[in-house]
Amino acid sequence: MTAAVKKVLAAERLTDLTLKAIGIDYAIWQGLAVTVLLVERTPELMQLDQEVIDAVEPFSVSGGTAEAFVGADANAPTIAWVENFIPKSSGKNYIAHVTAGVAPPAFVNGLKAQPFTDFTFKPVGVAIYQLGNFGTAAKKLWQEP
């Protein structure tokens, strides 16, 4: 799977993209706010989303176990999240974002209450990670040179 995604990432030259942060949001995961910078969905990002989906489709199976994750201690919600990621979080449901970290929900609500000034940025690198518990990037498998 890493080789298939690496091929897509190498072809797309992601470090050439200019992205635009348009807000802050979060999702509650076991009492903490997983906080993200929302990124404007562009045709280039939507194309990348579809190309990655197409690349991993031959490897997608149901019934995965914790052994597929770093540390082999992934909980049931994490396993279900990964198994359902493509239908629930891609295509029309894709939310382009950069994960900023976790914090108490009250803190993130305070951030969201403040005015947000859009800004542009460019990725400085691209990497593929094996996930750990809670869907976190846990073990680097490849990084663009």
Q: Count Cα neighbours of 28 within 13 Å in the Cβ-side half-sphere.
A: 7
Residue 78 clears pLDDT 90, i.e. is over it: no
Query: What pLDDT sits at residue 22?
Result: 98
- Alpha carbon separation from 134 to 59, 111, 145 (Å, rounded): 21, 23, 28
The residue among 94, 121, 141 whose CA lies nearest residue 16 is: 121
Q: State how many domains the chain has.
A: 1
Query: What pLDDT sits at residue 137?
Result: 86
* First CA to last CA distance, the chain: 19
Domain that holds residue 14: 2-143
- The confidence band for 135, taking pLDDT boundaries of 50, 70 and 90, is confident
Average pLDDT, the chain: 91
